[in-house]
């Protein structure tokens, strides 16, 4: 058996695609519930860029900081700096989301490492939304 092209086999590609679709559907369902808890319409979680804007509005985070991602335009150096910037933004967003629902640092780590599970727990759990102060 030739293992050099295993990731190009139709079975592997199909299972990877199925996993990605399941992951996306779980995220959308969880975000729908989180948006509703925060007083936003759940359908807003369906629109890819708009849902990020609404999430930033929920956690009271300045969406203009996303303009820093334009650093990706610069080849090589911008990609490295942009990746670090994006990671830091993700940590801040997860932390502020957890705090918005009264959760602590451990929940933030869960949101970072096991996003679908913790987003579902946040959406369907008993956590109540409390807007952060600026």
For 46-56, the pLDDT digits (tens) are 998 888 889 99
pLDDT(39) > 90: yes
Residue 134 lies in a domain: no
Give the pLDDT score at 6. 61
| Contact between residue 50 and residue 44 where contact means Cβ atoms under 8 Å apart | yes
**Domain limits at 83?**
6-124
Residue 86 lies in a domain: yes
Give the pLDDT score at 107. 95
User: How much is the mean pLDDT over the chain?
Assistant: 86
Residue 108 lies in a domain: yes
What does the alpha-carbon distance between residue 24 and residue 27 come to, in Å, rounded to a whole number? Answer: 5
Lowest-confidence region among 10-14, 41-45, 108-112, 120-124: 10-14
How many structural domains comprise the chain? Answer: 1
Residue 80 lies in a domain: yes
103's tokens? 């959760």
Residue 111 lies in a domain: yes
pLDDT grade, residue 21 (50/70/90)? confident
Residue 1 lies in a domain: no
């Amino acid at each position: 058996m030739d293992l050099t092209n295993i990731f190009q086999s139709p079975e592997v590609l199909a299972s990877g695609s199925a996993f990605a679709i399941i992951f996306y559907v779980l995220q959308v369902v969880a975000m729908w519930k989180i948006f509703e808890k925060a007083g936003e319409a759940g359908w807003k979680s369906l629109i890819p860029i708009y849902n990020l804007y609404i999430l930033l509005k929920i956690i009271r985070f300045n969406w203009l900081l996303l303009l820093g991602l334009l650093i990706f335009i610069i080849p090589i150096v911008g990609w490295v700096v942009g990746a670090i910037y994006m990671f830091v933004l993700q940590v801040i967003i997860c932390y502020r989301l957890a705090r918005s629902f009264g959760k602590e640092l451990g929940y933030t780590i869960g949101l970072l490492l096991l996003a679908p599970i913790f987003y579902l727990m946040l959406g369907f759990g008993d956590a109540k939304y409390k807007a952060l102060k600026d």
